[in-house]
Amino acid sequence: MRNINSSQPLPDIAKKDSLPLQVFPLDVNNVNSVKEAIDRIMQKFERIDVVVNNAGYGLIGALEDIPMEEIKAHFETNLFGAIRVIQAVLPIMRKQRKGTIVNISSMGGRIAFPLSSTYSGNKFALEGISESLSYEVEQFGIKVILIEPGVVKTNFANNLKKIAKTMNTVSSPYAKLVQVREANRKLMVENRSITPDEVAKIILKAVTSTNPDLRYVAGNDAAGLLESKNNMTDREFRKFMMKNFFGESKSKISK
């Protein structure tokens, strides 16, 4: 965990259920922190079999309004953080001739969502890197898996960053668009989200499979959206997305 002081109640749950769980400090944005954490794990256990790259956060806002430092920070955690961990564990897994790397992507890594340009950008990149990596490391017995959840009911929404300028109806031409998008996003979390347990079961199934798939879609909302995109033309799908995320045409929203 990035903040070890936030690790409770994990150790308490582990103790209660007799689970061999240990928590180490690790900040994916800091290469030294990544190295130190992996060194500690290797000293204690002498191997690493599965890595799940799950660090990340969302960012809502119009691209024109997002400061460059916010964009860089978003990619730093969501994309480069995963790459740092992958590069650190690959020599270990190559030596073992075995290992599984699980990258938590998103349906936003397959389909670009409105006002989530940087999130979809770094998730699209993670998808491409993972697919390419899978070819490179297969010869060493290393598997790469992408998990693509839809809406999940976690603290992710609470940690969502919003660009204040975009939310202000006075200072941004995109504010109305964002406000409608936000209202519909909250409804999706309430009505169409899946639980973390459901995602965890998919991850467990993937990492224990003898011959896992590269991609696993998690959630009926994600599967349905992907099916819609595959069965529509680009023009049809754009209209579909505008209706589902904004409930009306762009021209009406902007008024």
- Catalytic positions, written as ranges: 105, 119, 123
Nearest to residue 104, comparing CAs of 133, 79, 73, 139?
79
- Report which of 255, 249, 121, 59 is spatially closest to residue 175, judged by C-alpha positions: 255
Helix (H, G, I), strand (E, B) or coil at 96: helix
Looking at residue 167, its amino acid is M
* CA–CA distance, 4 with 19 (Å, rounded to integer): 19
User: What would you report as the CA-atom Rg of the chain, rounded to the nearest whole angstrom?
Assistant: 20
Q: Cβ distance 49 to 154 under 8 Å? A: no
